[in-house]
Structure 1
Amino acid sequence: MSFQGPPEVYDLLILGSGAGSKLLAWTFAGQGQKVAVVERKYVGGSCPNIACLPSKNVIHTAQMAHNIRRGAEFGVDIDGFHVHMPAVRERKRKMVQGLVDVHLSLYKQSGAELIMASGRFVGPKILEATLPDGTKRLLTGKSVVIGTGTHAVIDNIPGLASAQPLTHVEALELDVVPEHLIILGAGYVGLEFAQAMRRLGSQVTVLGRGHRVIHHEDDDVTEGLQQLFQDEGIELALNARVKSVSGVSGWSVRVEIEQNGVAKSLHGTHLLVASGREPNTKDIGLELAGVELTERRYIKVNERLETTAPDVWAVGEVAGSPQFTHISEDDFRVVRDNLLGGNRVTTGRQVPFCLFTDPEYARIGLSEKEAKAQGIGYRLFKIPMTAVLRARSLVETRGFLKCLVERDSDRILGFAAFGVGAGEIMGCVQIAMLGKLPYTDLREAVLAHPTIPEGLIALFSAGAS
């Protein structure tokens, strides 16, 4: 298509409106620069719309159902209850709309222009934006940022695509409790949805390729999670390879698997795919922009998040950054500082994460597996959650705390928690690590009683192995 006149010129042009992208837009527009963001569908990206925050909303509802079901333990008699999924969905939708409204307000306040359109590059730093009505705008930026994110992988398994499986996007829009949900994938997304749907009333089967769930983590973590799922009546089929799928999700599905060399057939009503993610780099003209990809088709960047094209940057998951919103937010800081003439890099930054099962699993720094693989000597401090008095008062004592301390010093190498409040207590340790505090400072700290972080005193007062 031909265009009349030259492209519209911006100081900063951004494709995709996820965490790193929107923060760059608001920051530089707020400083008086002319900024445009081209977003295909989700204002603010996946986190507030279809991922982190809405999933935790539904998980919290499932927690409420679980607590009601356990009412007798608390001395509360409940004759019976019903999960009304349309109301669960509506609660989630209201939260999402509130977040979208906040985003729109911030665009207006900052002066950044949000263009709802499909964007593709037609030349170096030149973007063609196709609006919903079919009209097109040609845009260019003195600097360009790409933050198009990732999407769920639908593996090339016979019958899988035609079965119209749920991804996390559709699962968050369910208006019924699945009678029997089969989940392909035993990673973060699969495990969080498995427990939530089980607590909402589904029969749940999780299929995992590995011999453990989140198998890259330490064995005590995976064993703890697997025992949790067993106790809650979630079926785990590990070492499983899906051979074929038939039927349609939402009605009836049949999944043929091979498990430990034995052929098996599973029947369910719904099928959820949670077996990984792939970058949104296809058909957006990156080759015309001079932006090269890695072998896995992520955008190739250096430690400054510069692409192979001059004045073009990439942030978030599409750049191969760890797939967490807080990392995309740090990508914003890296690009912001470098656009302003600094030299900020991604090398060596901390990558905390939390699995929002109940109880949670959280980790920062080295795991035991990683320390051993790298030949790093360490002392291990570890206590069961029964040693944390706040956990005892809540009668939520499943799990443990553990910390790796450098063998020849008091430096904290890594911390992991599987237990109530794991994500919050991890933050306390992470701040100590950022401040380069020895573990003894946490051991000797005066922490409020009874709180979960107080458990750090018990942890570091215990003998190390």
Structure 2
Amino acid sequence: MKYDIIVIGSGPGGYIAGIRASQLGKKVAIIEKYSTLGGTCTNVGCIPSKALLDSSHHYYDAVNHFEEHGISVEKPSFDFGKMVDRKAKIVETTTGGIKYLMDKNNIDVFEGLGSFEDKTHVKITKNDGSSEIIEGTNIIIATGSKPSTLPFITLDKERVITSTEALKLPEVPKHLLVIGGGVIGLELGSVYKRLGADVTVIEYAPKITPTMDADVSKELQKVLKKQGIKFAVSHGVTSVERNGEEVIVKANNKKGEEVTFTGDYCLVAVGRKAYTAGLGLEKVGVEVNERGQVSVNDHLQTNINNIYAIGDVVKGAMLAHKAEEEGVVVAEYLAGEKPHIDYNLIPGIIYTWPEVAAVGKTEDELKEAKIDYKSGKFSMRALGRSRASGDLDGFVKVLADKNTDEILGVHMVGARVADLIMEAAVAMEYRASAEDLARICHGHPTYSEAVKEAAKAAWDGKPLNA
């Protein structure tokens, strides 16, 4: 069977690429090796982790904050099994929704491992060992990523685990050790801390969320520490050993001294790596870089002119929404359109509580680029909406060009900033100035007023409520 476009992988990048291509009149096939669609994000990533984050957040509020709202309940308790079941149902509904979209858009879905026979033919090897070959004029690689580890760590997936196992543990850990102070480690660490686990985050860098703005990292660590999470930054892990139901992690601190951490579970959250196993890239000569990522040009085209790659399998931030945008870009490009993607305007979000969100440049990046900038910052504590909800932690910071006032970066810690960041992204897409944002009337009382106030602080240094 011949298709205009074959997509290998049905994660956010793959299935969105397929839908957009079909909308533009292309005959599309999607190959997925697992029995459910949606990739890591839907099955063992974004969606299930947010389900557990929300459930644990409700419980945490019941224990710690209901009383101050005048709400009295018997001593709150939770059924962890029900939380996990709820998460599973949400995943099932979401994957079912993707299947519906495939049918709606007349996309043929093949279950099995896709591998290149040549530049236009893909072999699909099914679970029962049978196989078939389909032909595509163009092929999009969207095979995503897998959790990384350290060379000396043995992942037994029982006590020494990745994010995949952390989403389906049989119990709440007594003491969860988390190696890596990035997005995954902090989100899953938050889930189990709220449910009563001791949580210790061990991070090699001198700060958590190392790639984010320094003020954000500092504020987030302060808030999470207040919630009871322990941090060991500037600690390089040297060994992880399991002894029965105990896990021992050894690390060297910045003085070179050995420190030992003991817990009953250890989550290895040191990032993710591109997944290309079994694709047969060498058969067609598709080039990969030194990190194992598929090499692409500005059109996400590989060195083989009819083969493209998107999402976690190529360079850049490993974010579902980045993969989606790349999927749209390739589909539209193959349909003869002229799409674009501005990688500087892809927001980064952490779903702890308070949430963290950022778009554009950090202060360190602006300094490194020798760009003259000005900064405006506004505390969430000064907002009427924050006082009403009791969510007082955090701030919004706006960075703008010192000469032109154009907004160059926005960094937030606070309630609902995962949604709020898009105000900044839209403003920056249209190259708004800090004054532009400051002069827009914002609803009162809302969390969004912090954006207006921070923009005014960057523009003229005179926020109205600080």
TM-score normalized by structure 1? 0.94
1:35-434 matches, within 5 Å, as 35-41=28-34, 42-70=36-64, 71-160=66-155, 165-247=160-242, 251-260=245-254, 261-346=256-341, 349-434=344-429
Match of 2:440 in 1: 445
How big is each residue's C-alpha offset from its partner over 1:185-223, in whole Å with a ceiling of 9 and x where there is no partner?
A: 111100111111100111111111111101232332221
Write the deviation string for residues 437-459 of structure 1: whole angstroms up to 9, x where unpaired.
32223222222111111223332
Alpha-carbon distance in 2 for matches of 1:158, 1:50: 21
Cα 1:222–1:31 change in 2 (3 A) is closer
Instruction: Report what 1:4 is aligned to.
Output: none
CA–CA distance in structure 1, aligned partners of residues 438 and 25 of structure 2: 48
Deviation at 1:377, TM superposition (A): 0.6
Aligned with 2:10 (options 9, 17, 20) = 17
- Specify the code of the residue in structure 2 equivalent to 1:34: K
User: C-alpha separation between the residues in 1 aligned to 2:137 and 2:154?
Assistant: 46
Structure 2 distance, partners of 1:163, 1:31, is: 46
State the distance in 2 between where 1:179 and 1:368 align. 38
Return the offset for 1:291. 0.7
CA deviation map 1:333-385 (0-9, x unaligned): 21122101234344655121111111111111111111111001111111211
Give me the whole-angstrom Cα distance separating, in 2, the residues matched to 1:451 and 1:205: 34
SS at match of 1:288: helix
Helix, strand or coil at the partner of 2:345: coil
1:81 aligns to what SS in structure 2?
Answer: coil
- Contact 2:434–2:456 (8 Å) recurs in 1: no
The secondary structure found in structure 2 opposite 1:98 is helix
Alignment match, 1:459: 454
CA distance in 1, matches of 2:223, 2:160: 26
1:436 Cα offset (Å): 2.5
User: Secondary structure of 2:31's match?
Assistant: strand
Q: Which residue of 2 aligns with 1:3?
A: none
Deviations 1:403-459 (A, max 9, x none): 011111221111111111222222112212222332223222222111111223332
Sort the Cα spacing of 1:290 and 1:68 in 2 relative to 1 into closer, same or farther, 3 A.
Answer: same
The total of aligned residue pairs comes to 457
| 1: CA distance, partners of 2:430 / 2:243 | 53
CA distance in 2: counterparts of 1:458 and 1:426, whole angstroms: 14
TM-score (norm 2): 0.93
> 1:53 corresponds to which letter in structure 2?
I
Structure 1 regions of 5+ residues with no counterpart?
1-7
Q: CA deviation at 1:276?
A: 1.1
Identity of aligned residues (%): 29
Secondary structure of 1:83's counterpart equals coil
SS of the equivalent of 1:287 reads helix
Question: What is the aligned partner in structure 2 of residue 5 from structure 1?
Answer: none
Contact 2:20 2:332 in 1 (8 A): no
CA contact (8 A) 2:159 2:264 kept: no
Distance verdict in 2 for CA 1:127–1:322, change over 3 Å: same
Alpha-carbon distance, 1:275 to partner: 0.4
Deviations 1:17-75 (A, max 9, x none): 11221122223334553321110114021211111111111101111111011122222
